[in-house]
Amino acid sequence: MGTSFLTSTFIGSLEFGGIIGSIASGYFSDVAVAKITFRSKGQPRHFVIFVLYPALLVSMFLLRTVVTDLPSQQTFVYILGFIIGFTLYGIISLVGVLALENSAVDIAGSSHAFCALLGNVGLTLAGLPFSVVMEYLSWNVALQLCEISALFSLVLFILAQRLTCRIGDLQKQD
């Protein structure tokens, strides 16, 4: 088996994990909303994101440290690709839903579209700087940089959870 086949299979498992992750994160966040009432700070959907982020960090760490060039680890690499896709696309999907729910009614659609666009563009364009780092330094450094950026975004998300949930004017209740 050539490396192009292995690479395309890894990307395929990552994308398949992304499809399943988007659907599953939506389902589990809906279950969380049904069980937990709305609060003035934070949202029930945040719990699902807080579960996905550590899974993403652990799978990236395992990809960097455990995987070697042994052919026996190909299945493990594909499983890690599935988990990375599941968590990454699940987080992007939920951030779009949170943007939709937390914006004013007149800009809700634009807010969701903007978040989804930036999430997918960022996911696509992230490959360029990481490939440059990989070319001049190593795969290990590029994957460490991925882990650090995911950890940084988790910290930002934790800090943002303490903010109020609604953006824009709140509707007056009679």
169, part of any domain: no
73, part of any domain: yes
Provide CB contacts within 8 A for 8, sequence distance 6+. Answer: none
Please give the average per-residue pLDDT across 15-22, as a whole number.
Answer: 91
Which pTM does this prediction carry? 0.78
141, part of any domain: yes
Of the two residues 61 and 4, the one the predictor is more confident about is 61
Instruction: Judge residue 36's burial from the number of C-beta atoms within 10 Å of its C-beta, 0-12 exposed, 13-18 middle, 19 or more buried.
Output: middle
How many domains, in total, are found in the chain?
1
Structure-token match 């004013």, residue found: 104
- Work out the pLDDT band at 114, boundaries 50, 70, 90: confident
Q: Does residue 86 carry a pLDDT above 70? A: yes
What letters, b where the CB count within 10 A reaches 16 and e where it falls short, cover 63-96? Answer: bbeeeeeeeeeeeebbebbbbbbbbbbbbbbbbb
Q: Does residue 36 carry a pLDDT above 60? A: yes
Q: Does residue 169 carry a pLDDT above 60? A: no
Q: What is the pLDDT of residue 82?
A: 93
171, part of any domain: no
Q: 21: domain range?
A: 3-161
Q: Does residue 174 carry a pLDDT above 50? A: no
**Half-sphere CA count of 149, side-chain side, radius 13 A:** 13
Please give the average per-residue pLDDT across 110-117, as a whole number.
Answer: 82
User: 164 - beta bridge partners?
Assistant: 41
CATH code, domain with 143: 1.20.1250.20
110, part of any domain: yes
166, part of any domain: no
168, part of any domain: no
The tens digit of pLDDT for each residue in 115-160 reads 878 877 887 887 788 888 888 888 888 888 888 988 998 888 888 7
Phi, psi of 57 (to 5 degrees): -65, -40
136, part of any domain: yes
Measured from the Cβ of residue 138, the count of other Cβ atoms closer than 10 Å reads 11
